[in-house]
Amino acid sequence: MPKIVDHDERRLELVDATWRIIARNGLEGATMREIALEAGFANGALKPYFPTKDTLLEFAFGHVFNRTNQRIVKVTEGKTGLPALRAFSMEVLPLDEERINEARIVIPFWQKAINDPQKAALHQQSMDEWLTTIRRYLAEARDNGDIKAAIDDAALAGQLLNMLLGAQIVAALAPAGHPGPGLDEQLEGFFTLLTR
């Protein structure tokens, strides 16, 4: 009987190996050969899963985004308005090693996306989803009177999202072990501005 292989499982193993290699060697140093080695695959055994490094990188980004979203679903459960917005934002901020590693994946992805419309569209779609989420929480916070500021919600949502994106750069480039000091204070500052 042929061995039963869980192909989804194998793909995720490859994504994890890709993260570790990119975090260690950078994007250029992450060759398909190195990734195969790290994941314990025979050289050439990656091809059926990811024919090119590009397809692997695209899948890895999609996976980072999904994983972040799964965590967001958990931390926002039962919350609406401002508490939900705070929980969402704290989860996107790179405040621990796992999320700093995610920032180290997403910056190479952005760099690729500058000259790759398909990756740029994938980024845009992800950001549009987040903007929609943020605006829903803002609308709820207006409904219950927590936010009174006479500023368009689209501008507030863009402001918060860009702050969260900028924080990825701060954290990914910070010397190891210093995950961008003050990121959570900045976020609290933004909430204070919003609600006073």
Residues at the contact surface with its own copies, assessed by CB under 8 A:
24-29, 104, 107-108, 110-117, 120, 123-124, 127, 149-152, 154-156, 158-159, 161-167, 169-170, 172-175, 182-183, 185-186, 188-190, 192-194, 196
Q: Considering the complex, what minimum distance in angstroms separates the CB of residue 12 from its own copies?
A: 23
Q: Helix or strand or coil: residue 178?
A: coil
Sign (positive/negative) of CA torsion 141, 146, 151, 156? negative
Q: Considering the complex, what minimum distance in angstroms separates the CB of residue 53 from its own copies?
A: 11
CB of 30 closer than 8 Å to CB of 52: no
CB nearer its own copies, residue 41 or residue 65: 65
Select from 193, 54, 35 the least CA-distant residue to 119: 54
CB nearer its own copies, residue 63 or residue 112: 112
CB nearer its own copies, residue 11 or residue 146: 146
Q: Considering the complex, what minimum distance in angstroms separates the CB of residue 56 from its own copies?
A: 15
CA distances from 53 to 32, 104, 109 (A): 6, 17, 12
Contacts of 35 (CB under 8 A, 6+ apart): 14, 17, 18, 21, 46, 56
CB nearer its own copies, residue 41 or residue 138: 138
Q: Considering the complex, what minimum distance in angstroms separates the CB of residue 128 from its own copies?
A: 12
Helices (H), the chain: 7-29, 32-39, 53-76, 81-92, 97-113, 117-143, 153-173, 183-195
CB nearer its own copies, residue 73 or residue 193: 193
CB nearer its own copies, residue 70 or residue 132: 132
Q: Considering the complex, what minimum distance in angstroms separates the CB of residue 91 from its own copies?
A: 16
Q: Helix or strand or coil: residue 22?
A: helix
Q: Considering the complex, what minimum distance in angstroms separates the CB of residue 188 from its own copies?
A: 7
